[in-house]
Amino acid sequence: MRILVISDLHANLTALEAVLADAGTVDATWCLGDVIGYGPDPNDVVERVRAIPNLTCVLGNHDVAVLGQMDDAVFNTEARRSLLWQKKALSDGNKGYLESLPQETLVIDQVTMAHGSPRDPVWEYVLNTLVARLNFESFETDYCFVGHSHIQCLFQLDLKKDRVSLEVPHVGQVLRLTPRAILNPGSVGQPRDRDPRAAYAIFDPDAQTWEPRRITYDIPAVQKRIRAAGLPEKHAARLVEGW
Ligand code: ZN
């Protein structure tokens, strides 16, 4: 069984199309939120996501903000400018679709899904072993899949030594999973781990494997649309840097 795990699409249709094509045939797709925010294609990306068969999706902080369920002031100036633009651009139908998605964690078999962290699903970043350690107490399944940091990585809890380690797996490496772990597939639409390629992962619950993957996409085409929409230059420039 192949499950495509994606997160932080951020209204980047070109990156999303590249990921869906590269992933090939999958049995299900799990999306960890931030479908919109930053990028130039909010409607196209929501519509493409809606068309994915066997999709399970939770909301991220940008999605919640665009729905007007969060004070925009919590975002920095550039992110806020982009959010206001997306609020106007997003159709009522696509807003309604996002409104139908959960803001809480979801559990499917041995996996808990959250945008940020199991302890604070919308906002908390799991960026270091201390935060990861505290979060292992907030979910009961073998694994927790999170997004939000835009960094492809995993936090492994060694049950014998009672220690948490941070691992950055090599792309293309198929990892054999051992309970318990917090795993991040990276960001489709705005990677921030110095690798500009779109990031995602393939989870196989039968084989108990996790395969972090990257795929190149046409970044200049996306930058052109960001600039044409009058969105902040920073959001165009950072795509090339992968930061
Ligand atoms: Zn994000």
Instruction: State in Å: Cα 61 to ligand 1 middle.
Output: 7
Handedness of CA 123, 129, 131, 136 (dihedral sign): positive
Q: Which residue has the tokens 């014998």?
A: 160
Instruction: State in Å: Cα 36 to ligand 1 middle.
Output: 8
DSSP 17: H
Per-residue pLDDT tens over the stretch 181-206: 999 999 999 999 999 999 999 999 99
Instruction: State in Å: Cα 77 to ligand 1 middle.
Output: 16
Per-residue pLDDT tens over the stretch 129-155: 999 999 999 999 999 999 999 999 999
In 44-113, beta strands by DSSP E: 55-57, 106-108, 111-113
Per-residue pLDDT tens over the stretch 91-110: 999 999 999 999 999 999 99
Instruction: State in Å: Cα 34 to ligand 1 middle.
Output: 5
Instruction: State in Å: Cα 142 to ligand 1 middle.
Output: 24
Instruction: State in Å: Cα 10 to ligand 1 middle.
Output: 7
Instruction: State in Å: Cα 168 to ligand 1 middle.
Output: 19
Q: Say what percent of the chain tops pLDDT 70.
A: 100
Per-residue pLDDT tens over the stretch 59-87: 999 999 998 877 777 778 888 888 899 99
H or E segment at 182?
Answer: strand 181-184
DSSP 148: S
Q: Report yes or no on whether pTM surpasses 0.75.
A: yes
Per-residue pLDDT tens over the stretch 150-179: 999 999 999 999 999 999 988 889 999 999
Q: Which domains does the chain carry?
A: 3-241 (3.60.21.10)
Instruction: State in Å: Cα 162 to ligand 1 middle.
Output: 30
225 three-class SS: helix
Instruction: State in Å: Cα 160 to ligand 1 middle.
Output: 34
Please tell me the distance from the alpha carbon of residue 55 to that of residue 6, in angstroms, as a whole number. 11
